[in-house]
Structure 1
Amino acid sequence: MSEKVCDGHKDRRRKIIRRCCGSLLIFLFIILLIFLLVWAILQPRKPRFVIQDATIFTLNVSAPNVMSTTVQVTINSRNPNSNIGIYYDKMNVYASYHSQQITYYTIIPPVYQGHKDVNVWSPFIYGNNVPVAPYNGIALSQDQSNGAINMLIKMDGRIKWKVGSVITGHYHLHVTCPAYIPLGNSKNTGIVVGSGIKYQLSQSCSVSL
Structure 2
Amino acid sequence: MSEKVCSHHKSKRRRVLRRCCAGLLIFNFILLLVILLIWAILQPKKPRFILQDATIFALNVSAANVISTTVQITIYSRNPNSKIGVYYDKLDSFATYHNQQITYYTVIPPVYQGHKDVNVWSPFLYGNDVPVAPYNGLALAQDQSNGAIKMTIKIDGRVKWKVGSFISGRYHLHVSCPAYIPLGNAKANGIIVGTAVKYQLSQSCSVSV
TM-score by length of 1: 0.80
Q: Is the 8 A contact 1:186 1:192 kept in 2?
A: no
Q: Is the 8 A contact 1:192 1:198 kept in 2?
A: yes
Q: Does 1:139 align with 2:125?
A: no
| Secondary structure of the corresponding residue to residue 45 of structure 2 | coil
Tell me which residue corresponds to 1:189. Answer: 190
Tell me which residue corresponds to 1:87. Answer: 87
Tell me which residue corresponds to 2:74. Answer: 74
How many residues are matched? 205
Alignment deviations for residues 43-69 of structure 1 (CA, whole Å, 9 cap, x no partner): 222211111221212110222211111
Tell me which residue corresponds to 1:44. Answer: 44
Aligned residues with identical type, % of pairs: 68
User: What is the RMSD of the two structures over their aligned residues, measured on CA atoms?
Assistant: 2.8
| Secondary structure of the corresponding residue to residue 46 of structure 1 | coil
> Structure 1 residues 89 and 185, CA, compared in 2 at 3 Å: closer, same or farther?
closer
Q: Is the 8 A contact 2:85 2:161 kept in 1?
A: yes
Q: Is the 8 A contact 2:189 2:199 kept in 1?
A: no
Matching residue's letter, 1:48: R
TM-score by length of 2: 0.80
1:6-155 pair list within 5 angstroms: 6-132=6-132, 133-144=136-147, 148-155=148-155
Alignment deviations for residues 115-174 of structure 1 (CA, whole Å, 9 cap, x no partner): 111122222211111111322442343243xxx443321223343433344445554433
Q: Which runs of 5+ in 2 are unaligned?
A: none
Q: Is the 8 A contact 1:61 1:140 kept in 2?
A: no
Q: Which runs of 5+ in 1 are unaligned?
A: none
1: CA distance between counterparts of 2:37 and 2:186? Answer: 56
2: CA distance between counterparts of 1:164 and 1:105? Answer: 33
